[in-house]
Amino acid sequence: MTGRRDPEGRRRAIVDAASALIAEVGVDNLTHRLVAARAQVPLGATTYYFATLDDLSRAALEHIAQTTVACLRSWAETIESSDDIAASLAELTTRYLADRPSALPETELYLAAIRRPELRPLSRLWFDGLVRLLSEHASPEAATAAAFLIDGAIIHSLSGDEPLDTGGLTAALRSLLSI
Amino acid sequence: MTGRRDPEGRRRAIVDAASALIAEVGVDNLTHRLVAARAQVPLGATTYYFATLDDLSRAALEHIAQTTVACLRSWAETIESSDDIAASLAELTTRYLADRPSALPETELYLAAIRRPELRPLSRLWFDGLVRLLSEHASPEAATAAAFLIDGAIIHSLSGDEPLDTGGLTAALRSLLSI
Amino acid sequence: MTGRRDPEGRRRAIVDAASALIAEVGVDNLTHRLVAARAQVPLGATTYYFATLDDLSRAALEHIAQTTVACLRSWAETIESSDDIAASLAELTTRYLADRPSALPETELYLAAIRRPELRPLSRLWFDGLVRLLSEHASPEAATAAAFLIDGAIIHSLSGDEPLDTGGLTAALRSLLSI
Amino acid sequence: MTGRRDPEGRRRAIVDAASALIAEVGVDNLTHRLVAARAQVPLGATTYYFATLDDLSRAALEHIAQTTVACLRSWAETIESSDDIAASLAELTTRYLADRPSALPETELYLAAIRRPELRPLSRLWFDGLVRLLSEHASPEAATAAAFLIDGAIIHSLSGDEPLDTGGLTAALRSLLSI
DNA sequence: GATGAATGAGACTTCATTCAT
DNA sequence: GATGAATGAAGTCTCATTCAT
């Protein structure tokens, strides 16, 4: 796809492919071959741009974290212009979960961080950002608790089949944020 | 020379080893070799008792789920005899997290269920049990929300370095349970 | 099937199962497990009655050879009472091929004998018997040639999809037998 | 250290080794290890060039089939310039059998085709070619019958110990070809 | 006598990584 | 700079065979 002479483009194509694959097969099942095939680059390219599979997966997880940060910015905007924060958050969470393929990578990052401490700063971007965002409208304890609640709901929804109960989530958030 | 004739014991040893390893290396990095070494049985024994690595990991995850159910029972007892449910729950959660090696497997089960739907019934045992337990002292919506909160806190605590803020958690739970 | 206390019956069940399996999977793909499952006997029984897989396959091939000899006797009767030997032979050959599962084992024996010289006496039973049978109605050379022809036709028919041309075979046999 | 950079040569070496081994141990007993050792390439090379053992054996059988076709061409030439076709054929058959290692693979192909239908087109190359060749000097029925005779003789000679009776074969072919 | 348990060898295959080109 | 070739380690699994019971 990206012609032979476009190092930056190739790098990006590889990282994109790896990110998508992490959602599909899990970070532990990523392989050079899988990435090369998905990115439509020769096998050698994956090791040329990333010395190690570990490097490659880290780059992909960084990419995922950046997406997450972008997502947070969009949440911030929505909340800023909302007069019912709890309802807005519940709605944003529900919408976030509607697109499984885009919600999964972030969860993979969480899990990867459990066993790879070097990834923690990355995995904290989402949580800390969320807490900071909420802190502008509630006490620190309330913000942290609300973030726990949202993340718990997200992970459950991903590993279960039932959709989220937006109403219930709204009520819970409203209760928490007023601590 | 021939390992003790004790099929049931061997099976159990293998499952125990696999469960512990799942916590350490993750369910996707479980290998026959790893299990055999940990359980101190010959490599062939792992495939003799479990036709497939998949079978083995499933058995280990079932074992983990059972442990979880036992844990729930103990939580139920504590709560029954408590006059401050929120504080008790926060305390139980904190204590649960104090022993990482025992807390991790359950999280692995959650994550595994995200990509292996056949594991969902197993992974729901904890969450559904927790909700049922809480439902005896709060509305269904409140119980679900509290369970989300607790699970979010657990996963965060496992993937981060900071200890849980038991006081904050207590306040949040108290707020939620009264919805 | 054969109760616990019937050694002869078990032996026979094992040999029967092995013979059938040889036709299905080939002599080189026979395994104890396959035989045990087919014969519905415990795994240990297969090694109890036959010290070695080699022994087992030999016993099965002997069984096949005996079946072959029985078949020859039936051919002899038919030919004895026939006034058109060539036509009878062609007809017998065609009928023989109609039941693939029963025709295949003999071919397996042939092939096995190519690389296991100790099986040759067994594999010759058919050919030599056929030649002897034909020798009563033709010169030795003619009998041998006719046997070659019949065997060539059989193997071809088994490895191809087309049915045998009985008329053509009759004509060829008539021509050969009159040498 | 790294084996010569000669992909085409390596591929050929692997296929050659596999073909020879098929004659020696049978197509069902072909293993990567055996091939690698014979071809003097590392084990990994066999799977690098052929994704699957099945692919490898198929390639080897194709190679064998090509050899067969080449052999047929040489037979055609000999027969073209002969004034006694039956004698020439018998002579060619006898000479063909003189070199067991070169005659065996073709027989393996026949047998393999019995249980692997996808190989039939390959296994028919010899028989159909032989029939076509003979058809130029005899009726179709005669050609087919003669091909049966020759194949029957070949297989017998390979699985037995006695040499072929060239004289008898000549007489039989002469008789058949004049149908 | 009979059998389930047990195991080590070895089969196929995947793959990260290295390197000649 | 870029890549196909190459390989050895390791993974999953099968199985003949042995043996305690």
Residues of D in contact with C97 (CB under 8 A): none
pLDDT digit string (tens) for D139-165?
999 999 999 999 999 999 998 888 999
Query: Which of D116, D96, D27, D124 lies closest to C111 in space, CA to CA?
Result: D27
Residue A163 has pLDDT above 70, yes or no: yes
Query: Which of A38, C83, D141, C39 lies closest to C30 in space, CA to CA?
Result: C39
pTM of the model: 0.89
Per-residue pLDDT at C104: 92
Residue D55 has pLDDT above 50, yes or no: yes
Longest dimension (CA), chain D: 64
pLDDT digit string (tens) for A19-37?
999 999 999 999 999 999 9
Judge whether residue C45 contacts strand E, using its CB and a 7 Å cut-off: yes
Fold for domain D7-177?
Answer: Tetracycline Repressor; domain 2 (1.10.357)
Task: Calculate mean pLDDT across residues A3-22.
Answer: 89
H or E element in which residue D52 lies: none
- What b-and-e string marks burial along B73-95, b requiring 16 or more CB atoms within 10 Å of the CB? eebeeebeeeeebbbbbbbbbbe
pLDDT digit string (tens) for D10-41?
999 999 999 999 999 999 999 999 999 999 99
The residue type at C148: F
Per-residue pLDDT at D1: 40
Task: Calculate mean pLDDT across residues B110-126.
Answer: 91
Residue B100 contacts A, CB cutoff 8 Å: no
Residues of B in contact with A161 (CB under 8 A): 117, 120
DSSP calls for A74-113: HHHHHHHT-S-HHHHHHHHHHHHHH-HHHHHHHHHHHHHH
Judge whether residue C36 contacts strand E, using its CB and a 7 Å cut-off: no
Structure tokens at C116: 């296991």
User: Which residues in 43-102 of chain D line strand E, with CB less than 7 A from it?
Assistant: 43-44, 46-48, 51-54
Question: What is the nearest nucleotide to D48, using C1' and CA?
Answer: F6
Of D25, D111, D147, the CB nearest to C111: D111
pLDDT digit string (tens) for C89-148?
999 999 999 988 888 998 899 889 999 999 999 999 999 999 999 999 999 999 999 999
Task: Calculate mean pLDDT across residues D41-70.
Answer: 96
* pLDDT bucket at D81, cuts 50 / 70 / 90: very high
Per-residue pLDDT at B70: 95
H or E element in which residue C173 lies: helix C166-177
8 Å CB contact between C39 and C14: yes
Residues of A in contact with B124 (CB under 8 A): 160
Task: Calculate mean pLDDT across residues C61-71.
Answer: 95
Per-residue pLDDT at D26: 95
Residue C5 has pLDDT above 80, yes or no: no
Structure tokens at D124: 């028919």
In a mutagenesis test of the C interface, which of D24, D114, D164, D170 is the best target, namely the one with the most C β-carbons within 10 Å?
D114
Contacts of C57 (CB under 8 A, 6+ apart): C18, C22, C27, C30, C112
Q: What is the DSSP letter of B164?
A: P
Which residue's CA lies closest to nucleotide F8 at its C1' atom?
D44
pLDDT digit string (tens) for B33-55?
999 999 999 999 999 999 999 99
pLDDT digit string (tens) for B59-102?
999 999 999 999 999 999 999 999 999 999 999 999 999 988 88
- Count the helices and strands in chain D (H runs, E runs): 9, 0
Task: Calculate mean pLDDT across residues C68-80.
Answer: 95
Residue of C nearest to D121 (CA): C160
Residue C69 has pLDDT above 60, yes or no: yes
Residue D51 has pLDDT above 60, yes or no: yes
How far, in Å, CA of D4 to CA of D11, rounded?
A: 12
Interior angle at CA C63, CA C58 and CA C69, nearest 5: 125
Helix (H, G, I), strand (E, B) or coil at D137: coil
What is the rounded end-to-end Cα distance, in angstroms, of chain B?
Answer: 64
8 Å CB contact between A130 and A120: no
Per-residue pLDDT at D3: 55
Residue C157 contacts D, CB cutoff 8 Å: no
Per-residue pLDDT at B3: 55
Residue B139 contacts A, CB cutoff 8 Å: no
* pLDDT bucket at B28, cuts 50 / 70 / 90: very high
Tokens 């071919």 sit on residue: C107
Of C26, C124, C169, the CB nearest to D160: C124
Lowest mean pLDDT among A150-154, A161-165, B138-142: A161-165
Per-residue pLDDT at C6: 82
